[in-house]
Structure 1
Amino acid sequence: MTYVIAQPCVDVKDRSCVDECPVDCIYEGDRMLYIHPDECIDCGACEPVCPVEAIYYEDDVPDQWAEYYNANVDFFDDIGAPGGAASHGVIPRDHPLIARLPPQNQ
């Protein structure tokens, strides 16, 4: 099980969750943040600090954003498990689901 970042994060990327994560498993794409499913320890520290309520426990993702589970998992297909977001920096891409979204109002 893992936590998932959903649509409210797109074009916001507040990063409060990144600062709170004790295992550095929240990576930054061009338009959204992503939680690495294998590095997340399910502590839940990220969820309450998200100002746009974009983070959900895997089983609690609202139906309208269910596909964001796969977006978070698939985002890491090419990079594997780098072992920490801080040393990896911004990954200059997004999952296709996010990349094709129109700019989100902020």
Structure 2
Amino acid sequence: MPYFQCTNGSLHFLSADDISRDGVLLLPEGAKAVTDIVAAAIQSPEPSNTELAAELRQRRGELLAETDYLMTPDYPIDAAKLAAMKSYRQALRDIPGKPDFPKQVVWPQLPN
């Protein structure tokens, strides 16, 4: 256990100074030793809904940008493919309005 967590939640790496000659951990009062796995979870908590929503909106924007050129009036695309692309892009725009957003997202399939 190379880490310990203080009562304020801060995480610290155990050093040789934190171990007595007898091999006993010398931690601050109230601190507890934690495993690498627990330390990783503390250092990388799950993103908040706001952070997750921002990441998903960014990805959605990237997907829309990848097909922007198809929407220009002078791009040679037949009517059926244009309609399918418009539906795809609308489905992307509708994602943030879904009830389970941002925890659950079903991405639409890019039409052929």
Q: Same fold (TM over 0.5)?
A: no
Give the structure with the larger helix fraction. Answer: 2
Normalising by structure 1, what TM-score?
0.27
The structure that has the greater radius of gyration is: 2
